[in-house]
Amino acid sequence: MNSNIMSSIMDQIPQIPVSQWMNDFIAWLTQNLSWFFNSIRDGGSWLMDGITDLLIFIPPLLFIVLMVALAFFASGKKFGLPVFTLLGLFYIYNQGLWEPLMFTITLVLVASLLSILIGVPVGIWMAKSKAANWVITPILDFMQTMPAFVYLIPAVAFFGIGMVPGVFSAVIFALPPTVRFTNLGIRQVSDEMVEAAEAFGSTGSQRLFKVELPLAKPTIMAGINQTVLLALSMVVIASMIGAPGLGERVINALQRAQVGPGFVSGFALVVLAIILDRVMQGFNKSKND
Amino acid sequence: MTTKVEIQDLTKIFGKKERQALELVNKGHSKEEILEKTGATVGVNKANFKVEQGEIFVIMGLSGSGKSTLVRMLNRLIEPTEGSILIDGDDISKMNKDELRKVRREKVSMVFQNFGLFPHRTILENTEYGLEVQGVDKAERQEKAERALENAGLLPYKDQFPNQLSGGMQQRVGLARALANDPEILLMDEAFSALDPLIRRDMQDELLDMQETMHKTIIFITHDLNESLRIGDRIAIMKDGEVVQVGTGEEILTNPANDYVERFVEDVDRSKVLTAENIMEKPQTLRLKQSGPRVALKRMKTESLSSMLVVDKNHTLKGYVTDEDVLTATNQETKDLEPILRTDIPKVSKDTLVNELYDIIHDSQTPVAVVDENDKLLGIVVRSLVLGALAKTREEEVINEQ
């Protein structure tokens, strides 16, 4: 009986219009800040088209050679990774996916750079300020747990379709690891290091740049590595709102239930992810030794 | 003598209810009572002392006695709750950030227990750090840092990283770094406690040598009684955050202020009587079955020794060989040390008193081996070490009588 009363009380309360609120909020932003979003969209498209054109302009053979050389030095002059890079990139070229690959690289590059530019300073701020840490931590939790697809909706509202909303949603999705790891890396610097820096009369920024950031670097790099891989995965999802690249091919294959083309593009993404991950890890490791 | 550093009623309380705890401190309640009533921990309780210009002032106490907190309040790595710190008459506790930074850069340097070297910087870059943050230009700060390293005998290692150096060498870098910007006051927080005993003694000697020419004001934190007696001009003993007694080593030994100090002193008296362990040196040894007469001869030549101890692979003492025997064996093309091994070497335990050692070593042709109960070789005592130790005790006795 009690439960009946309870449920009837609960039914008495009208549905809270969360959905309406979000609609109104996004609509308000779109209307009032359209000049802002439009200029970002125009500038962003111009920049990213430029980068992609440049990448496509580089002869594929030269590009492959450069990547193999990079892999060679990143892996500490071993041969496994360079061979994989050579074969993997040749596969992508062979399957006629070179141009989509360049679009995907542009998107990942821009999204990762933006995430780092925003994420590292925010992480430093969180490490220095208890209040910032207290406020930003739940926001990061929110950003990471919200299903990635949801970000596509406001992205379209703000920026239409194309590369810019793709990068926008990728940055939101990929930002948290860089912020968290920067914060963690700085907080992990031992008390004695901080005391030594202070005892010799360092200013706040001297302590940060001469002691804390160098000591936190391996941790920050681990965060950036995760950010890049998350950006790659989000760039694929962002193909649903018209971001070009390898993801676009996967989505097309999905819509037409074509197993073959789906896997061909899927493999290409795997190749790209492995090269990115191993090259970054390699550089991080070799610098720490 | 002028007063360089003076602290007045210096107090540090950790935890919430700081005010309430402070009131209780001022009413003279003990650390336990305050913890029980307020939950706050009294780190340092109304400490007072003066440090004279150019002296080595040792603050001694067991862990938890507040000595590390106290030294960190002197350059405000830890903010004092109440009281004042006067350096050359200026109150550090009332300074703003810029004034405090100036004091830290120019007047007060610090040496840390675990060396506090920056692992990402080379030895030279570590030594430069204090000058670098002051904005001294690169050529000048390198020159000063190199001079500081030169004095510590570490210049050849300047491009290495801290983890490539042994503990003793790292702490020499720590000291060189603290001296590079020519401070007036040196704070040393358990600076030698992480080092093994033989190295620690060397470092104490080096500090004393250095002090003879530099005349810095040194505030040295330690929990080791022998160390305080060895290097301290004056000693402050701390217990539960309070300074229990301040005086020269002699005053504290002869006239302990309370039971706590007296208990310390009993310990000191026992350890002040030197044993073999205190004076022994690391021996040059040959490994039986591994080294033959040729190796032995070569090493004796380079180390200019007339005899060497022989051990097996477990470092158990087997005997010794003399240079004459080794030479004969080499000429006879013998491959093994076994035939020429002599075993008539005196052995003592590490607790043997120096006085007894004197009698043993007086009649012996060889050094005395210090071994444990399983005959494992711990160290070696040669005649000059015993004589040196005895001479020092006699010196101290003469001073005592005066």
What tokens does A87 get?
């074969």
pLDDT at B269 over 60: no
Confidence check on the interface: ipTM exceeds 0.85, yes or no:
no
- Domain containing B345 equals 277-389
Is the distance from CB of B67 to CB of B266 less than 8 angstroms? no
**Overall number of domains in chain B:** 2
At A214, the pLDDT band (50, 70, 90 cuts) reads: very high
On whether residue B34 sits in a domain, the answer given is yes
Other beta carbons less than 10 A from residue A58's beta carbon: 12
Map A84-153 to HEC letters.
HHHHHHHHHHHCCCHHHHHHHHHHHHHHHHHHHHHHHHHHHHHHHCHHHHHHHHHHHHHHHHCCHHHHHH
* B 101-120 → A contacts, CB under 8 A: 101-106, 108-110, 112-114, 116-120
d(CA A132, CA B112): 32
pLDDT at A35 over 90: no
CB atoms A200 and B104 under 8 Å: yes
Other beta carbons less than 10 A from residue B85's beta carbon: 21
Please list every residue in chain A whose beta carbon sits closer than 8 Å to the beta carbon of residue B109. 199-200
For chains A and B, CB pairs below 8 A equal 56
Please list every residue in chain A whose beta carbon sits closer than 8 Å to the beta carbon of residue B111. none
Is the distance from CB of B235 to CB of B37 less than 8 angstroms? no
Last residue of a domain, one of B272, B293, B322: B272
d(CA A211, CA A289): 18
Q: What is the DSSP letter of B282?
A: P
Structure confidence by residue, pLDDT tens digits, B359-374? 787 777 778 888 888 8
CB atoms B133 and A211 under 8 Å: no
CATH number listed for the domain at residues A33-288: 1.10.3720.10
Last residue of a domain, one of B272, B306, B323: B272
On whether residue B190 sits in a domain, the answer given is yes
B12 CB-near residues (< 8 Å, 6+ apart): B42, B43, B44, B66, B69, B70, B73, B78, B80, B81, B241
How far does the CA of residue B72 sit from the closest CA of chain A (Å)? 9
**Helix (DSSP H) and strand (DSSP E) numbers for chain B:** 16, 16
Structure confidence by residue, pLDDT tens digits, B10-54? 888 888 777 888 888 777 777 788 888 888 888 888 889 999 998
Q: Identify the CATH number of the domain in which residue B225 sits.
A: 3.40.50.300
CB atoms B119 and A200 under 8 Å: no
Out of A192, A200, A203, whose CB is closest to B114?
A: A192
**Helix (DSSP H) and strand (DSSP E) numbers for chain A:** 14, 0
At B271, the pLDDT band (50, 70, 90 cuts) reads: very low
The mean-pLDDT minimum among A37-41, A186-190, B252-256 falls in B252-256
On whether residue B120 sits in a domain, the answer given is no
Q: Are residues B233 and B307 in the same domain?
A: no
Q: Look up tokens 């690249």; give the residue.
A: A245
Confidence (pLDDT) at A126: 94
How far does the CA of residue A197 sit from the closest CA of chain B (Å)? 8
Q: Are residues B244 and B326 in the same domain?
A: no
Average per-residue pLDDT in chain A? 88
On whether residue B399 sits in a domain, the answer given is no
Q: Are residues B85 and B225 in the same domain?
A: yes
Answer whether B77 touches A (CB < 8 Å): yes
CB atoms A200 and B109 under 8 Å: yes
A1-38 core/surface letters (b: 16 or more CB in 10 A; e: else)? eeeeeeeeeeeeeeeeeeeeeeeeeeeeeeeeeeeebe
Stated length of chain A? 289
Q: Are residues B72 and B212 in the same domain?
A: yes
Structure confidence by residue, pLDDT tens digits, B140-161? 999 999 998 988 888 899 899 9
Minimum Cα–Cα distance from B78: chain A residue: A195
Confidence (pLDDT) at A287: 58
Confidence (pLDDT) at B270: 46
Mutation for A interface: B71, B122, B129, B187, most A CBs within 10 A:
B129
Q: Identify the CATH number of the domain in which residue B344 sits.
A: 3.10.580.10
Q: Are residues B26 and B42 in the same domain?
A: yes
pLDDT at A289 over 60: no
Q: Are residues B337 and B203 in the same domain?
A: no
